[in-house]
Amino acid sequence: MSHLLHQYQGFFATQDLWAHAPEMAPAALLLPPTAGVPIPAAQLHQWQQTLSPKLRIGRQVEHFLQYYLAQSPQITSLHHSLQIITEEKETLGEFDFLYFEKVQQQWYLLE
């Protein structure tokens, strides 16, 4: 089993942040504990080609989460690493994930 596949499976084996308060979770992020999202061989191959083995685990998890969110039929617009830049070309910060969830009809910011 590849190192990335093992980490991806570990991502889904981790307890949800909302395990004790599911009513606070955006609907698009709720999955049964063992559901996971299968990873096609092509996606795994792409990650193996593009993600450096030295990449921080947090950045790897961002790639896993981006893939997971992109598979959700409840999300209609997904933005990752969205930089906030002023008119003077100063970077104020970055949103990890900004997405629109169509069941609740609202935007979510996920950091």
For 25, 29, 50, 52, 108, the CA distances from 101, given in Å and listed in that order, are 12, 10, 29, 31, 7
**CA 48/CA 40 separation, integer angstroms:** 13
What dihedral angle (degrees, nearest 10) is formed by the CA atoms of 66, 30, 40, 105? -60
pLDDT tens, the chain, 111 aa long: 477 778 877 877 777 666 667 666 666 665 544 455 677 888 888 888 888 878 888 888 888 888 888 888 888 889 998 899 999 999 999 988 889 988 889 898 888
